[in-house]
Amino acid sequence: MDIATLKDFATQQRAIRLIDTSRDVDDSLIEQILEVGTHAPSGGNRQIYRFIVIRDPEIKRQLAEIYDTLGAQRYGNPESRTTWAQMPVMIAACSIPGSGPPGAATSASRSATAASVMPAVQNMLLAITALGLGSVLTTLWKEEEATINKLLGLPEGAEIHAILPIGWPDRKYGRNHRKPISEVSFRDRWDNAW
Amino acid sequence: MDIATLKDFATQQRAIRLIDTSRDVDDSLIEQILEVGTHAPSGGNRQIYRFIVIRDPEIKRQLAEIYDTLGAQRYGNPESRTTWAQMPVMIAACSIPGSGPPGAATSASRSATAASVMPAVQNMLLAITALGLGSVLTTLWKEEEATINKLLGLPEGAEIHAILPIGWPDRKYGRNHRKPISEVSFRDRWDNAW
């Protein structure tokens, strides 16, 4: 793929919080999303990520209860988001127990683990975009992490890094808009203008 | 972009540790990489990431001293990696101070920050692949984080999440290989087979 095609595609990725709840999302599409996810890099190609694909209505209802409450506190306006209880499917992106390098609680270890899961998350979001589906990268539920880990049956030491609610967008969305790179880039040292 | 094109492209991303040190990498290419990076999502579209593009020979030499030592301890065989002292250019992907949600030291806050920087890192790695360049996502240097933060002039509270050494690959690389998705995916709960 040439860089112009990639750049054009990258501008089409949007955070989709309102979905058409009348349409389901086939497993065949989920499998394509997961496959693109696995082709992202992970430390030592160890693939320490695990993906939990959630369709169970009772699990979705309990997740929604947590997320809707946190979302109302943080963002307000519940009409701007489809409740997770009505999401066709969600993917929780996790890491396996003991997946960091030696020193589980260190900053180095935490970064290494996130760096082995989040690239797969971004690849999955790109696949979701390519399929015409919508999603949004969420971490707010982390505030109730212990409850959610229990709900999804995570073993001790495993961690959820992102939850992606997935559905068909409620409408057509335009391109994303970002600051020019000069506003987020430095040369050689922090605060040296690009 | 259709999903088949994206999947084909995703399999072309490789970790490139040996580069052709005789070839430089133009700023025009770095700008394209940074731009694709900025089109990744970040929490609330706040773009809390900052990218330090490193070409200064003395900074590269000092980073190489740290990374070469850690790399020899962790991975051995220095011949399998081009020293950072000879890298044409590197990008350090950082977050700004106070970029997490309330509660800087919590797991929720750390995840939210990583989730706002790492998607841009993966987008940059895809752009590097599209340009025919090579890189590898590194976090091992995190073990000497304080020294590196000082070297790059980071303010208190800012954090480096990944460093990408960038150059032209020493040779042509094949596609990446991963486990089938059934080995890394669960249905509804951890350990429920996909």
What residue ranges do the domains of chain A occupy? Answer: 3-183
Using only the alpha carbons of chain B, give its radius of gyration: 18
Query: Of all residues in chain A, what percent are helix, strand and coil, respectively (each to 5)?
Result: 45, 15, 40
Query: What is the residue-averaged pLDDT of chain B?
Result: 95
Residue A38 distance to chain B (closest CA, Å): 7
* Structure ipTM: 0.97
In sequence order, which residues have a C-beta less than 8 Å from that of residue A162 and are 6 or more positions away? A92, A93, A117, A118, A121, A137, A138, A139, B111, B115
What pLDDT, on a 0 to 100 scale, did the predictor assign at position A86?
97
Check CB contact of B122 with chain A, cutoff 8 Å: yes
A33, A131 in Cβ contact below 8 A?
Answer: yes
Count other C-beta atoms under 10 Å from residue B186's C-beta: 20
> Cα A125 to the chain's mean position, in Å?
7
Q: Give me the residue from B5, B36, B187 closest to A53, CB to CB.
A: B187
Mean pLDDT calculated for residue range B54-73: 96
In sequence order, which residues have a C-beta less than 8 Å from that of residue A77 and are 6 or more positions away? none
Q: Can you read off the two tokens belonging to residue A101?
A: 């390098």
A-facing residues of B in 13-72 (CB < 8 A) are: 13, 15, 31-32, 34-36, 38-41, 43, 45, 47, 49-56, 59
Check CB contact of B80 with chain A, cutoff 8 Å: no
Per-residue pLDDT band at B111 (split at 50, 70, 90): confident
Mean pLDDT calculated for residue range A111-130: 96
Helices (runs of H) and strands (runs of E) counted in chain A: 5, 4
Mean pLDDT calculated for residue range A20-31: 98
What pLDDT, on a 0 to 100 scale, did the predictor assign at position A105?
59
Per-residue pLDDT band at B102 (split at 50, 70, 90): low
A92, A121 in Cβ contact below 8 A?
Answer: no
What pLDDT, on a 0 to 100 scale, did the predictor assign at position A100?
64
Instruction: Please write the tens of the pLDDT for every residue from A88-102.
Output: 999 999 999 987 655
Report the C-alpha gap between B67 and B84 in whole angstroms. 8
B7, A35 in Cβ contact below 8 A?
Answer: yes
Query: Of all residues in chain B, what percent are helix, strand and coil, respectively (each to 5)?
Result: 45, 15, 40
A113, A100 in Cβ contact below 8 A?
Answer: yes
Q: Can you read off the two tokens belonging to residue A25?
A: 């999302």
Residue A45 distance to chain B (closest CA, Å): 8
Residue A138 distance to chain B (closest CA, Å): 8
Per-residue pLDDT band at A108 (split at 50, 70, 90): confident
CB contact under 8 A, B189 and A112: no
Superfamily of domain B3-183: NADH Oxidase (3.40.109.10)
Mean pLDDT calculated for residue range A2-25: 98
B170, B88 in Cβ contact below 8 A?
Answer: no
Mapping DSSP onto H, E and C, the string for A21-87 reads CCCCCCHHHHHHHHHHHHCCCCHHHCCCEEEEEECCHHHHHHHHHHHHHHHHHHCCCHHHCCCHHHC
CB contact under 8 A, A127 and B6: yes
What pLDDT, on a 0 to 100 scale, did the predictor assign at position B11?
98
Question: Which ranges constitute the DSSP H helices of B39-189?
Answer: 57-74, 107-130, 145-151
Residue B30 distance to chain A (closest CA, Å): 10
What's the pTM?
A: 0.97
Point out which residues pair with B186 in neighbouring strands.
A52, B193
